A = this chain, B = another copy of it.
Amino acid sequence: MKHIAIIGVGLIGGSFALDIKAKYPEVDINAIDTNKTHIEEAKSLGVIDKEISFEDLNQMDLVVIAIPVDATLKILPKVLDNIADNTIVFDAGSTKEDICKAIKNHKNRRNFLAAHPIAGTEHSGPKAAINGLFKDKTNIICEVEETAFKLQEKALTLFKDLGMRIRYMNPKAHDKHIAYVSHLSHISAFMLGKTVIEKEKNERDIFDMAGSGFESTVRLAKSSPAMWTPIFQQNKINVIETLEEYINNLKHFKTLMEADDFQSVFQEMESTNHIKKILNGIK
């Protein structure tokens, strides 16, 4: 690999740029971003080498798309129109069904690998880019069989070099499960933040009472609405299903409290406690 393009130099795109540069010092990192401030920031931080345009994509060995999922839907066909025969393109979006549908019949479908690296923080923009973000993280690949074998190999070698473990999944299953283990967590945190802020808006000192428990539970409420709104939009049906189940579980807990059935309240918590073991498994 010699020439790499990052479309969207935020947290994810910027972190790919940093890790790729660290692993392959000979490559040049090119970037496309509608946000010119981000381009300048990324250049001055040494995250990217220079800005390019879509017409330059046919010079690239690899194109990484790391922009909000609604923008990916619009941009990906244009990217595939502009690349060379041996360019591999992958995305990093949190939804996979719509994107796979959108380019299903594109003549360069074989140049695209649908990916979802499960990595990130609640921060955004090129300043949020981190060295080693992808180490020991899971990368979910969808419809691998639709990508040309040699190009798959190129991407998979990169993922392995960055320390990621690979899981293969179909787009439908990906979107359904990720709604539970990621999207719901974000809504849960945002609404927790909202509930507390609404109550405590006139009493700023009260946040002195907020210890590390509140802080970790609400952490995801710092996430970017521009990134998350289109995710919820594209994964609407699955997310609504998870929300319904979550709301029902909360209502049930409330009903048990109202009925003074604290033995059942205890059991509700105890039967969830083994999340410890499950979480240890994902370390």
Contact = CB atoms under 8 A, between A and B. Distances in A.
Contacts of A188: 188, 192, 217, 250
Interface string A259-279: 010100111111111111011
B229 A265 contact: yes
A25 interface: no
Interface stretch (A28-36, A47-55, A77-85, A231-239): A231-239
B186 A138 contact: no
Contact of A243 (B233, B254, B281): B254
A194 B184 CA distance: 12
Contacts of A230: 262
Contacts of A233: 260, 262, 265
A184 B197 CA distance: 13
Contacts of A215: 279, 282
A184 B178 CA distance: 24
Contacts of A170: none
A126 to B, nearest CB: 18
A226 B220 CA distance: 28
Contact of A191 (B209, B240, B249, B274): B249
* A contact residues, range: 35 or more
A272 B193 contact: yes
Given A138-B209, A207-B282, A246-B195, A190 B269 contact: yes
Contacts of A251: 247
Given A138-B209, A222-B275, A232-B265, A192 B200 contact: no
Contacts of A250: 187-188, 191, 243, 246-247, 250
A105 interface: no
Contact of A208 (B138, B190, B228, B270): B138
Contact of A275 (B167, B221, B229): B221
Contact of A177 (B206, B213, B225, B281): B206
A190 to B, nearest CB: 5
Contacts of A186: 213
Given A191-B250, A198-B245, A254-B240, A269 B223 contact: yes
A269 B225 contact: yes
Given A190-B268, A229-B262, A232-B257, A200 B214 contact: no
9 contacts: A119-B211, A180-B196, A181-B209, A198-B245, A199-B242, A221-B273, A225-B270, A233-B260, A250-B250
Interface of A: 118-122, 137-138, 140, 165, 167, 177-178, 180-182, 184-200, 203-223, 225-226, 228-230, 232-233, 236, 239-240, 242-247, 249-251, 253-254, 257-258, 260, 262, 265-276, 278-279, 281-282
